[in-house]
Amino acid sequence: MNRILSLAGVCLAAVSGLSIVSAAQAQDAPGEPVFSVQRSSSSQVSAAAWAFNAGDYERAERLGRASLRNPARLSAPRRSIAYANWCAALSMTDQHAEAISACEEAVSLQPANWRAHLNHAGALHRAGQVDAARAALAEARRLAPSEDAVVRAAEILDSRSLASAG
């Protein structure tokens, strides 16, 4: 059922021209980090985003890796999108060190890419590096304070702070 709802959200995003935010993993488990993936003019980057939003993280990881086999063919902004998307897929397949590295590359390519900072925060959070996740999320909040995914991620990290303080 969740895959159907996620697919419906992806279709709605495609029709309305909105960016894709992963409903599949973000809402399935309370307290799980939030990731945001984005399509681009690269068919492999877009296919990886679709796979991620369908909850097929292994496929998203493979497609993300493939999209970066020849990174010079992508402009810096598109490479940043590809690395940020791949980071999310790597994190969801528990490849934490590689996920963090991919997001660091995304951020270095395009420091104003709020999704790269958000996904970096999610990867750090899943790796148990909560303080570093807060720092990465702070930059996403600075860049895109009203984006739903950023707001949800902040709520999750804030609730984790309250739970550990109590």
Domain ranges, ordered by start, for the chain: 2-26+33-165
Q: What is the pTM of this model?
A: 0.80
Which residues lie below 8 Å from residue 165, measured CB to CB, with a gap of 6+?
none
Model pLDDT, residue 33 = 87
| 25 against 72, higher pLDDT | 72
Average pLDDT over residues 63-68: 94
Name the band, by pLDDT with cuts 50, 70 and 90, for residue 163.
Answer: low
Structure tokens of 139?
Answer: 């930059």
Confidence check: pLDDT of 6 > 80 = no
State the Cα–Cα distance between residues 129 and 118, nearest whole angstrom. 14
User: How far is Cα 84 from Cα 88, in angstroms, rounded to an integer?
Assistant: 7
pLDDT at 143: 97
- Residue reference for tokens 């492999």: 44
Mean pLDDT across the chain: 83
Of 5 and 130, more confident = 130
Return the structure tokens found at 141. 């909040």
How many angstroms separate the first and last alpha carbons of the chain? 35
Fold of 2-26+33-165: 1.25.40
| Position 4 pLDDT exceeds 80 | no
- 48 residue type, one letter: A
What's the rounded mean pLDDT across residues 27-50? Answer: 82
